[in-house]
Amino acid sequence: MLHGIGFFIESLRDPNLPAPQELVVDESRLHAVANYLDHGLIHERYRGHSWCRVCGNNSELMGSTDLTDGVWLWPAGLSHYLRCHSVGLPEDFIIHALAKPTFTQPARDAVADFGLWIEWSRPRRSQTIRDAISLAQLEDGRLAAIARTERVTANRAKFGQSEATCIRAGCEERALKGMVFCGNHLPEMSSDFAFRSQAHRLLLEALQMPIQ
C-alpha cells in the first residue's frame, strides 16, 4: 500500500480532499522537496494533464501521471504547488524525502491509501473555503435539478406520452410514446453528468480561481 499525498479536490464530489489554498506554509525546505517529487517513478498514467487548483495552469507542467518512491504516491504536478504556491506537505514525508531514500518500484497493482493525507490536512482546512464549497454543492444540485426538469419537459413535448406505464420499478408515470420509459427514466437520464455542466465552474468560483 502506498500513502497518497498532494491529491487535491477535483470536483464538488470529493470534498474530503483539501484545496491547496488551505495548506500554504512558510517553509524553507519546499524547493528541496519539490526536486525530490520530480524524480519519482511513474506508477500510473492518465489521459490529459492535471490542472492547478490555484492558478489554473493546465500545461504539461501539471503532468499526467502519478509518481512514487515505493512508499508514497503523488501526482506529477505536486512539485508545482510547492514551488509556485508554497503548499506544505506532512512532516513525515518531508523528513523521508530529505533523507534521499532509494526509490523502489511498487507492485503494478499497489493501491494508494489517502487516510494519512486527509487526516493531516483536516485541521488545516479553511472554514471559508469549506463554506464556499458547500454553497457550490447546493447550487450545483439546484442547477442540475432545473436542467433535469427541463429535459423531462422537452422529452414529453418531443415524443408525447403513451397509455403504458413506465417500466422502471416503482414509477407510475406514463411512458413516452414508442418507449418503455417515462421522460425521467430514459437511459440517457441515468447519467447525471449532462446535468452537472456547471459543477466545474462552481468549484473554480468557490476556490476563487480565474474561470478559463
- List of residues contacting Zn ion (CB under 5 A): 52, 54-55, 57, 84, 166, 168, 171, 173, 182, 184-185
Nearer to Zn ion, 137 or 184 (CB): 184
Distance CA 31, CA 175 (A): 62
Q: With respect to Zn ion, which residue has the nearer C-beta, 69 or 155?
A: 155
Q: Report in angstroms how near the CB of residue 52 gets to Zn ion at its nearest.
A: 3
Of the two residues 90 and 183, which places its CB atom closer to Zn ion in the complex? 183
Q: Which residues of 161-178 are buried (b: 16+ CB within 10 A; e: fewer)?
A: beeeebebeeeebbbbee
Minimum distance of Zn ion from residue 201's CB (angstroms):
18
CB nearer Zn ion, residue 57 or residue 162: 57
- φ, ψ at 4 (rounded to 5°): -80, 130
Least distance between Zn ion and beta carbon 103 (Å): 26
Nearest distance from residue 166's CB to Zn ion, in Å? 3
The least CB distance from residue 102 to Zn ion, in Å, is 30
Query: Between residues 54 and 78, which has the closer beta carbon with respect to Zn ion?
Result: 54
Instruction: Please compute, for residue 58, the number of CA atoms within 13 A of its CA located in the half-sphere on the CB side.
Output: 10
- Nearest CB to Zn ion, comparing residues 173 and 205: 173
Give min distance, CB of 183 to Zn ion, in A.
Answer: 8
